[in-house]
Amino acid sequence: MEKVNMKPDMVFSPQPMYIIGTKNENGTPDFCIITWIGFTYDQTPHIMMTLGGSKQTKTNILRDKKFSANMITEDTLWLADYFGNTRGENKVKNQVSYTYQWGNSVEVPIIDECPWVYECEVTKVLELEGSHLFLAEIKNIQIDEKFETMNMEKIDLTELKPAIYAPYNYFSIGKKLGEMGDWEKLKNY
């Protein structure tokens, strides 16, 4: 396979998408969509997330050091798109119907319609040039009860139906291609 070089730019893909929930100073919830997110492990599971520019969500996280990460699925994609295209600094985001409650372990708003939610406390903040990188310990995971019997060692994304982001476009997960270790069965493909 021949390859060509290209200038590094914001073309990373695919990227997971999460609705990030924080609490405003007046106690109301604030939600935005973030795709600059990943997972890591250091004694406990953590989320790594980068927020750039001026955002109400970033202001809230810097103040309170906590947030929720609500998985965006095919069913919640357009709610997420709304949150991603409106600014909480300018007005309350209430033009679309949704319900929320407060987390069980961390006082953060979580969206009822999202089937998989992380409640997080920030442990480190790295200030970059125009952005902040947050490292947050996952304190609790809430999942829809219909996934309670899912094998958590082999999570089936075709059941969760997460939405995936590639610059300015949304995608869904296709089919399951196999399991870890299947290369031995398929090494002559």
Are the C-beta atoms of 37 and 12 separated by less than 8 Å? Answer: no
Q: Which has more pLDDT, 176 or 48?
A: 48
- For 156, how many CA atoms within 13 A lie in the half-sphere containing its CB? 10
- What confidence tier does 62 reach under pLDDT thresholds 50, 70, 90? very high
Q: Is the pLDDT of residue 37 over 90?
A: yes
Residues 162, 90: Cα–Cα separation, whole Å: 29
Cα 61 to chain center, whole Å?
A: 15
Domain extent listing, the chain: 15-186
Q: For the residues 39-60, what does the mean pLDDT come to?
A: 94
| CATH top-level class of 15-186 | mainly beta
Q: For the residues 47-55, what does the mean pLDDT come to?
A: 93
Q: What is the pLDDT of residue 153?
A: 87
| Identity of the amino acid at 126 | L
Are the C-beta atoms of 67 and 30 separated by less than 8 Å? Answer: no
- For 130, how many CA atoms within 13 A lie in the half-sphere containing its CB? 2
- Dihedral sign from CA coordinates of 167, 78, 173, 16: positive
List alpha helices for 3-43, DSSP H. Answer: none
Question: pLDDT of 100-156, one tens digit each?
Answer: 999 999 999 999 999 999 999 999 999 999 899 999 999 999 999 999 898 888 888
pTM of this structure: 0.90
